[in-house]
Structure formats: structure tokens, C-alpha cells
Amino acid sequence: MTTRFTGSFTQQEPIPEAGVEAALRVMRHGRLHRYDTAGDEVSETAALEEEFAALTGAPYALAVASGGYALACALRAVGVAPGDPVLTNAFTLAPVPGAIASVGARPVYVGVTEGLVIDLEDLAAKAGQARVLMLSHMRGHICDMDRLMALCDAQGITVIEDCAHTMGAAWDGTLSGRHGAIGCYSTQTYKHANSGEGGFLVSDDATLMARAILLSGSYMLYDRHRAAPPPEAFEDLRYDTPNVSGRMDNLRAAILRPQLGTLPERVQRWNALYAAVEEGLRGTPGLRLVPRDPRESFVGSSFQARLPGWPPDRIADLVHRCAARGVVLKWFGAPEPAGYTSRYDSWRYAPAPAMPATDRILATLIDMRLPLTFSADDCRLIAAIIRDEAVALCA
């Protein structure tokens, strides 16, 4: 009988009991709005921002309604205007070009390497086309940030980091989100902290963060933010910065606060699952593992591999055969977008010229989630199923 995996690729761990209890307290007193406090009470959202700033080592942090809002808010904060070009990865997820389009700007796509990071040679060639780079650490793959920042600094390019897949990750000891002018994070259910939807911005720049806080809808209550610049940073901005409301609420903040303290332990667990899959797939005929730079400290909450030389119908067959055995693979080479696997040529609101080198890589890329509800044994079984089906198709 063919072995089948019966777990769920979308089932996350439950919210910690401390988060459940904190959420109940918020619901019982009813003060869900971040600025609705009683007496000298510190809101859950303000406390969360302070704790996230400490976690990342940033002086300033802002909690917002979603990771996508964080990206758009960051673009507005650095002064991106309608019609402006913005450099970004061709290999990313739809919220990144969506954020660029939402402010009326235009994505300029940069290619991907076989290591699934932004192609720095292509970035250098396109550096003169825009003054802002929205860098997506797509699927947790971090490029050589020293080279990237040197290139961008030399060209006067402001870097916004999309860290939706790299909360807790680092490049050569520096946490993801701490290289560029602004780091943006997501707390959507499938990310590294779970509030359903939510996000953060962090920055060292007082002016950028003051502008972001005003944009988020502070109603001039910025003095209630505990991880914010001093009041004087807001004086020249508060009359000219529009309110584009996207605040986090106290209910989601209450759920998130206990999760921050367990992030390092959960990163270790994700990486153990990743290692189990990687070891199980090593040497599989026709399948190429994605190389990792030793300077990269990643969070293995998802797994990618490539099938170079495989024709599209064979990859589609592998996806189908694995699904029949309970293993859900996503394929970035499918002719039509499906779920979250859309790619740069799917986003017709942001058209781009063909990118043959990027197309060649994405055409053979498979991807799957690794939720912490999996065990190492689950991951070994998943790898064995993928290996079985790949061997069968290569026979």
C-alpha cells in the first residue's frame, strides 16, 4: 500500500495560553482601539511596539494592520509618489508589487538567482532607474546584504526590506530588517508570529518613523507611542502628512506579545523541520536543493527545491502525484496563477518586459510550507513521498 501523509499544510499551532488570556482581558474591558486607554494604562499595542523594538534592536517600531499595509506605509514614508519607479524582486509574492501599485508607483523588476535571491548584477544594471528598492527576502532567502547595501548606498538608493518571511533571521549577525532604512514584517497567520493579519515597521530614522506613525492614523496622539521618536520629530510633519489609517488593534497585539518571547525557540524548531526535509531529499534524481550561504541565518518555515531540465507536464504530474499522497506542493512555473504562486508576469496591473533568466528558474521551482504542527518524522515522510514520486517520473 502506498504511504500517504495525513497532516495539514495550513494548520498552525494554537495561540499561547498567555495570549488567549490577554485577548480575553481586552475583550472584557472593550478597549480594542489602540488609543482607548483608562487612566495611565499602557495599551497592548504600545507595549507590543516597545517589545518588538527591543527584539530587533531598533529604536523605533510601529504595529499596523497588515504586512501589506506596512510596505505601502514605508513607501509613502520615504516619499514615493504616483508614477515613481520602484525596484523590487521579480520573485516575490503579490503584496509587494501590490503595495507599490497602491501608491500609484511602478515596479521595476530585478531578476532572481539560482539561490532564489535578488540578482545583484541585474540590480546594478537597473540601479539608475529608481531611487527606492523594495527588497523582498522571498521565502526566507537572504542575499549578500553587504554587497547590496554597498551598491545601493553608492547609487543613492533607499532600501525598504520586506521581512515577511525573515522575522528572526539574520545576515552575518545582523537581523533581517536592520540593514535598510525601514524593515517591514508580517504577522499574517502563515508567518513567524500569528495574529491572523498584522505587521510592523522598524527604523533608525526619526523622520521616517514619525511620518509612518502619522500615516498610520495617530490622530495627533503620537505621544502615546512608546517606541516612537520624540515629539519634536512630528512638529514639521503633522500638518502635511495624510491619515491613511492602518493601525493595529489591542486584541491582535495581546495575541502577539507572548509569541515574541518564544520566537528564538520556534526558529530552532522550524530549522530542524527544514533540515529533515533537506536530508530526505538530498541526492534525489532530477531535484536540486537550494544552496544557502553560511553567513545567512534563516528561518526554515517553508521549503523550496528546483527541478532543472524537467518539462512542465512532468512537474505538473509530480505536483498531482504528491497531492494524491497528501503532500501539497506549489509550483511557480504553472501557466496560470494559483493561490499564492503568482509571479511577475501574472500582475497585469504592473506589466514588465520578459525576463528569460528569471523565467528559467521560476519554471522549475516547487515550494511547500512547513508549519510547526509537523514533526521531524512528518518531514521525513514528506521527503520520502516527494522522492518516491520524483524517482518514478525520472525512471
Tell whether 57 and 114 lie within a shared domain.
Answer: yes
- CA 171 to chain centroid, in Å, comes to 15
pLDDT of amino acid 239: 95
Domain span including residue 144: 17-261
The neighbouring-strand residues paired with 158 are: 132
What does pTM read for this prediction? 0.97
Tell me the mean pLDDT per 10 residues along the chain, length 395. 90 97 98 96 98 98 98 98 98 96 97 98 98 98 98 98 98 98 97 98 98 97 96 96 97 98 97 98 97 96 97 97 97 88 91 94 97 98 98 90
Tell whether 226 and 319 lie within a shared domain.
Answer: no
Does residue 2 sit within a domain?
Answer: no
Does residue 241 sit within a domain?
Answer: yes
Among 200, 227, 261, identify where a domain stops.
261
Phi, psi values for residue 283, rounded to 5°? 85, 5
**Number of domains comprising the chain:** 2
pLDDT of amino acid 122: 98
Does residue 372 sit within a domain?
Answer: yes
Give the strand order in the sheet containing 170-171.
Answer: 174-175, 170-171, 296-297
C-alpha cell at 228: 516612537
Among 235, 261, 287, identify where a domain stops.
261
Residues sharing a CB contact under 8 Å with residue 81, sequence separation 6 or more, in sequence order = 103, 104, 105
pLDDT of amino acid 335: 86
Tell whether 157 and 257 lie within a shared domain.
Answer: yes
Tell whether 100 and 140 lie within a shared domain.
Answer: yes
Tell whether 179 and 247 lie within a shared domain.
Answer: yes
